[in-house]
Amino acid sequence: MNNYSTSPDSSFALRFFGLLVCAASLFSAKTVYAESDPLKKLMQTNNCVACHQIDKRKYGPQFDEIPAKYTNDASAVAKLAAKIKAGGTGVWGEDYMPPQPQVSDADAKRMAELIMALKPAK
Ligand code: HEC
């Protein structure tokens, strides 16, 4: 029994543990967004939650699908900020987003930035 070296066992344990950590981070990746908390607060104070959720489709598009649509668009933040205030239709379907005049310019821009920073859920 004492002839066995312990190192193969412990390196196996290390690798196994490393694998566990990787697997755990993979599974949790779906719900963890770096920017979701400040975005959620703004969505509540500006009443976006009536029609939008971050990771589920409600009346309007789910926010974590928006970045993929604008990946190669350098003006995406400006466009989305303007759309947030003006509303509109035709980008995600036939549904109409009414204008949101209660939203300040600063909040509209911040929300557009936070939406574009969402990592798509995989
Ligand atoms: C009454 C429902 C409703 C409310 C309230 C609402 N939205 Fe929307 N939103 C929509 C609909 C419907 C669309 C899809 C419009 C389209 O297809 O062009 C949309 C689209 C969007 C888009 C994507 C725009 C694009 O052109 O790709 C963003 C960003 C967005 N909304 C942000 C917000 C924010 C931020 C708020 C809160 C200030 C908000 N919305 C409030 C219904 C709503």
In angstroms, rounded to a whole number, what is the distance separating the alpha carbons of residues 67 and 72?
Answer: 10
Query: pLDDT value at position 106?
Result: 98
Rounded Cα–Cα distance for residues 60 and 83 (Å) = 13
The secondary structure element, H or E, covering residue 122 is none
Q: pTM above the 0.85 mark?
A: no
Domains of the chain by range and CATH?
34-116 (1.10.760.10)
Token pair for 47:
């009443």
Q: What is the DSSP string of 31-56?
A: T--TTHHHHHHHHHHTTGGGT--SSS
63-109 tens-digit pLDDT: 999 999 999 999 999 999 999 999 999 999 999 999 999 999 999 99
**What mean pLDDT is predicted for residues 12-27?**
55
Average pLDDT taken over every residue of the chain: 83
Q: Whose CA is nearest to atom 18 of ligand 1?
A: 89
Q: What local confidence, expressed as pLDDT, does residue 11 receive?
A: 65
SS3 96: strand
Q: Give pLDDT, residue 29.
A: 47
What are the pocket residues of ligand 1 if the criterion is a CB atom closer than 6 Å to any ligand atom?
46-48, 50-52, 59-61, 66, 80, 83-84, 88-93, 95-98, 100, 103, 111, 115
d(CA 96, CA 80): 15
What is the residue with the minimal CA distance to atom 32 of ligand 1?
A: 84
Q: Given this model, what pLDDT does residue 119 score?
A: 75
Residue of 46, 51, 62, 118 to test ligand 1 pocket, by largest number of atoms within 8 Å of CB:
51
The reported pLDDT for the residue numbered 4 is: 56
- In this structure, of 14-28, 43-57, 59-73, 100-114, the range with the lowest mean pLDDT score is 14-28
- Calculate the alpha carbon distances from 20 to 11, 13, 23, 25, 71 in Å: 14, 10, 5, 9, 32
